Amino acid sequence: MYSLHEQDSRIVYEDRIEDVEISIDSARSLGLIGFTEPPVISWPEDFRCAFVSPAGTPPLRDIARNAGRVAVIVSDSTRGVPTAKVMPMIMEELAVAGVRKEDVTVVIATGVHREATADEVMEIVGRENLDGLKVISHDPYDRDKLVSIGETSFGTPVEVSRTVYEADLRISVGKVEPHEFAGFSGGRKSVLPGIASERTIAVNHRPEMLMSPDARPGQILENPIHRDMVEAAGMLKIHFTVNLVLNQAGETVGIFAGDLIEAHLAAVDFMRSYCQITLKNRPDIIVTTPGKPLNINFYQSVKPLIALAPVMAEGGVLVLYSSCPDGLGTDDMLIPYKGAKDMEEVIERLKCDYRIQMDHALLLGKILLRGIRIVVSAPSVKAPVLNDMFMNPAGSPQEAVDMAMNMVGNQNPTVLFYPQAQRALTVLENKLKQ
């Protein structure tokens, strides 16, 4: 998938996902970052075991007895969750409990992302599981499809999918990995933002929450965004959850089912056991890419930048390359940058006029305010758009790295290759000693 090899006095980096090759002087290479991942679990044996011995709840077949309507919340295509492998287990458990297939609705938790296409629905749920199964995409904007269930202690009005709320049994399926401001994905995120209203998500993701020093990858206990999400999910109540942990290739290395909180924390602990990367020094240049499915658009593709910013030197350069076939992904991301003279003006605009898909615009602003430069090779995102966002466009990944070399004041800048950095928790060695 990703590799380095020597060629004469050069180091050549290869990415077989994006079909990218980058060459640098071998003396400047800090190598390729990765971590040893747990072995892939067996299907269906290990999957079934998770349903037989769930954490904090009886088995799903016991919970589902006498249930009428059932809602199964699943992630959209931007998350790459192998839901199709889990659905047969869920449907089997429901059938044993006497639940009819026609009483089950699969709700794709889009948050404020676009509706799933027919092809995406088949990929998410599995073509073989679709017959007779109702599948809908969550709509965060249609008031008739939403219901208000209260307010959290953080002042977030909790409005959720009426279909999910009115179900007698609520099940969620997601994946757990480090998240740029919620600490980790999975668990409670199926509710908020997954099947919440645009207003609910916007309040949860508001600037003062995102700007909290605890709203960062790997942090959950003191993270206000996480705590707010947990409150919202508790108000709705998810009766049974399935959390998957995946490797770099998208294969399942862990499955944790049962209570929404207990199963999620078990998955988080499992991830922490192997995903921490420790760097001795701050690199001058880090080259990264999000991998699939985040390379679908620029909004999703910036996640590795957010993950790497804490270990970058001030004045350092982050190089991002991504195909971004869907372009920017949301025009809202660009709005606060358009015509702004500097990052301070961007942040002030965000505080005064904030929309939900401006969250990554704010997180990018936090990076740029530290004096970190960003060079981007994204063929489907126009250069003027990147310029407006105070980033440096490049025609190719190789050109991006060459540009970064020239931008760093150091005469011999060092380059670290770190693909899919959003999947790890990266720390500095000297920080651990403090």
Number of Cβ atoms within 10 Å of the Cβ of 349: 19
Instruction: pLDDT band for 431, please (50, 70, 90 cuts).
Output: low
Strands 240-246 and 252-258: antiparallel
What mean pLDDT value characterizes the chain?
A: 93
Q: Which CATH superfamily is domain 2-35+276-433 in?
A: LarA, C-terminal domain (3.90.226.30)
Instruction: Inform me whether the pLDDT recorded for 180 exceeds 80.
Output: yes
Cβ count near 108 (within 10 Å): 24
* Residue 215 pLDDT exceeds 60: yes
Report pLDDT for 353. 85
Q: Is the pLDDT of residue 242 over 90?
A: yes
**Exposure class string for 301-330: b at 16+ Cβ within 10 A, else e:** bbbbbbbbbebbbeebbbbbbbbbebbbbb
Return d(Cα 320, Cα 309) in angstroms, integer. Answer: 12
Question: What are the boundaries of each domain within the chain?
Answer: 2-35+276-433, 45-272
Q: Is residue 194 very low, low, confident or very high in pLDDT (cuts 50, 70, 90)?
A: very high
Candidate from 226-230, 254-258, 326-330 with smallest mean pLDDT: 326-330
Give the H or E element holding residue 197: none
User: Of the candidates 300, 333, 318, 331, which has an alpha carbon nearest to the alpha carbon of residue 377?
Assistant: 318
Whether pLDDT at 107 is above 50: yes
What's the confidence (pLDDT) of residue 350? 87
Task: Report CA-CA distances (Å) from 227 to 59, 109, 112, 425.
Answer: 27, 20, 20, 20
The CA distance from 336 to 340, in Å, is: 7
* 256-275 mean pLDDT: 97
Helix (H) or strand (E) holding 118: helix 118-125
Report the pLDDT value the prediction gives residue 432, as an integer from 0 to 100. 46
Task: With cut-offs at 50, 70 and 90, classify the pLDDT of residue 289.
Answer: very high
Confidence of residue 204 (pLDDT cuts 50, 70, 90): very high
- Tell me: pLDDT of 434 over 80: no
Band (199; pLDDT cuts 50, 70, 90): very high
Helices 83-96 & 118-125 angle (0-180, nearest 10): 60
**pLDDT for res 35:** 85
More confident site: 211 or 272 = 272
- Mean pLDDT value across residues 406-419: 89
How much is the pTM?
A: 0.86
**pLDDT at residue 91, rounded to an integer:** 96
Residues 382, 367: Cα–Cα separation, whole Å: 21
In angstroms, the CA 264 to CA 90 distance is 18
Q: What is the pLDDT at residue 433? A: 41
For a pLDDT cut of 70, what percent of the chain falls above it? 99
CATH of domain 45-272: 3.40.50.11440
Q: Kindly tell me if the per-residue pLDDT of 54 is higher than 80.
A: yes
Span between the terminal Cα atoms of the chain, in Å: 36
User: DSSP E strands: which ranges in 102-142?
Assistant: 104-109, 134-137
Least confident span in 38-42, 117-121, 345-349, 429-433: 429-433
**Pair of tokens at residue 182:** 């919620």
Beta bridge partners of 178: 184
What is the per-residue pLDDT for 113?
Answer: 83
